[in-house]
Structure 1
Amino acid sequence: MMEALIAGGWLMLPLLGCSLLATVIIIERLWTLRAGRIAPHGLGQEVCSLITRGQVNLYWLESHSPLGGVLAAGLRNAGLGHEQVRSRLTEAATAVIHDMERFLNPLGTIAAIAPLIGLLGTVVGMIEVFAVIVAGDGASRTADLAGGISQALVTTAAGLTVAIPALMFHRYFQRRVEDITVRMEEQAGQVVEFLAHHGSAISLAEGQTPARDAERVEADGRLAPEVRHP
């Protein structure tokens, strides 16, 4: 390994840095972009059930998951009409999507520049080879010729070795973000549809939104906004 780094010359240093950075990003995104953590299955249906029973706890919902925070943002404006609910859901979902896409641009940049750095190493290595040939003493400087050729090949291989996994994971994470976004949209749509069809059966105290509704202290000491039925 060390011999390959030395053979590749100084251009192996930026490639090594790109490799380490890409590895860190991939591990972090694999841990963060878990569908069960961001958009738990069945949360939208559970929220609809809690609304029906008048047991919505927005504080618990916000801390439950990113999707819970999106749904809580919409429910806080339930008393202002469905358009406001949809608007708040969209704004909150946009923030979650932006967080899911964090570090994907740097990963894509690494996938794009790593082959270019390898190509630059190839060019530098071939320049050294031709410099030895032009000097007219190539036969006596075989080691220099071999070093230039080795640098050209090693940097090219290293650049591709870094770029290929980075590109694969970049595409994979993009697809995962899209899948999670679709799941969020489906569950948020369930809540909006529920409010549209059952809004008349749900009455908030004195026309206030859930955020401003009276708070009740539960047995475990938590604060939970009430959703009262007529």
Structure 2
Amino acid sequence: MFSFIQLQADTIANAASNVVIEKIAPNTEISVLEFILKGGFFLIPISILLFYTFYLIIERTLYINKASKIDHRLMLDVRDNLNSGNLELARSIAERSNTSSGNIIKEGILVIGRPIAEIESNMDRAADIEIGEMEKHLGQLGLIAGIAPTLGFIGTISGVIKIFYSISVTENISIGNISGGLYEKMISSGSGLLVGIIAYSAYHLLNGKIDNFALKIQKQILEFVNIIQRS
């Protein structure tokens, strides 16, 4: 009899444990998209900034990589034609390269015969124009790097305000109510920071490419001037 009672007690205890476990650990799995959409209204402008950031990164990277290409053979061909006095062919070779360095060298060839200082100044101005073309729209990446995290922070603050307003109206201050609403609003901050980091990193990496090109083109300008002086 005692064994039978003990068996029934164990059965009831196991059943109660299963009920408690089911109540404590319900299935709360959600998809990544559902999780992101819980971030609220401010995720819309943040998402727009994200797509525009990727567009700027791809467009500027392709342009800068093409324009900043340095063809070392170009300077050799130009030098050979300058030494032989064939200025028109040297200009044509520089123009056909279709790169920033070719355009800068072409500007130098066009003013050959004038003082060296004027030739160098003309090439420097051409270099500034080419670098300015490369830097076009990069300022927008810097702006996005500051705006996106701010939008995310505003989204979180507005969510927190709504949570405390709801508490003041319903007087429901349960941990579940507060933490549930808060984690949803912090998605906005996390998204804004992510977009800001991407834009900030791309801004500095692309500027690094431009700085590297500026250094190389100054070396080419110096080499071109030396060729003119020797000629």
Tell me which interval the TM-score lies in, with the shorter structure as reference length.
0.7 to 0.9
Q: Give deviations 1:12-44, integer Å, cap 9, x for gaps.
A: 011001100110111112212227853323433
Q: Give deviations 1:31-67, integer Å, cap 9, x for gaps.
A: 1222785332343333212211344342341231211
Q: Is the 8 A contact 2:46 2:192 kept in 1?
A: yes
Give 1:149-168 correspondences, 5 Å limit: 149-168=182-201
* Residue 175 (str. 1) matches residue 197 (str. 2): no
Provide closer, same or farther for how the CA distance between residues 99 and 186 of structure 1 changes in structure 2, counting only shifts above 3 A: same
In structure 2, the partner of 1:61 is 94
CA RMSD of aligned residues (A): 2.2
Task: Give me the whole-angstrom Cα distance separating, in 2, the residues matched to 1:187 and 1:151.
Answer: 55
Q: Is the 8 A contact 1:45 1:190 kept in 2?
A: no
Q: Give deviations 1:124-153, integer Å, cap 9, x for gaps.
A: 11111111111143258966x456313321
Superposition deviation, residue 117 in structure 1 = 0.8
In structure 2, the partner of 1:119 is 153
Structure 1 unaligned regions, length at least 5? 199-230
* Residue 33 (str. 1) matches residue 64 (str. 2): yes
Superposition deviation, residue 163 in structure 1 = 1.0
Task: Give me the whole-angstrom Cα distance separating, in 1, the residues matched to 2:60 and 2:76.
Answer: 28
TM-score, normalised relative to structure 1: 0.78
Structure 2 unaligned regions, length at least 5? 1-31
Q: Is the 8 A contact 1:111 1:166 kept in 2?
A: yes
Q: Give deviations 1:140-186, integer Å, cap 9, x for gaps.
A: 8966x456313321001101111112111111111110001111110
Higher radius of gyration, 1 or 2: 2
Q: 1:100 aligns with which of 113, 117, 134?
A: 134
Task: Give me the whole-angstrom Cα distance separating, in 1, the residues matched to 2:174 and 2:216.
Answer: 67
Q: Is the 8 A contact 1:78 1:84 kept in 2?
A: no
**93-102 or 42-51: which moved more?**
42-51
Give 1:200-211 correspondences, 5 Å limit: none
Task: Give me the whole-angstrom Cα distance separating, in 2, the residues matched to 1:179 and 1:58.
Answer: 25
Q: Is the 8 A contact 2:103 2:126 kept in 1?
A: yes
Q: Is the 8 A contact 2:46 2:148 kept in 1?
A: yes
Q: Is the 8 A contact 2:38 2:187 kept in 1?
A: yes
In structure 2, the partner of 1:188 is 221
- DSSP 3-state at the match of 2:113: helix
**32-41 or 179-188: which moved more?**
32-41
User: After TM superposition, where is structure 1 displaced by more than 4 Å over at least 4 residues in a row?
Assistant: 139-143
TM-score, normalised relative to structure 2: 0.77
* Residue 197 (str. 1) matches residue 230 (str. 2): yes
Superposition deviation, residue 91 in structure 1 = 1.2
Identity %: 24
Count of aligned pairs: 197
- DSSP 3-state at the match of 2:136: coil
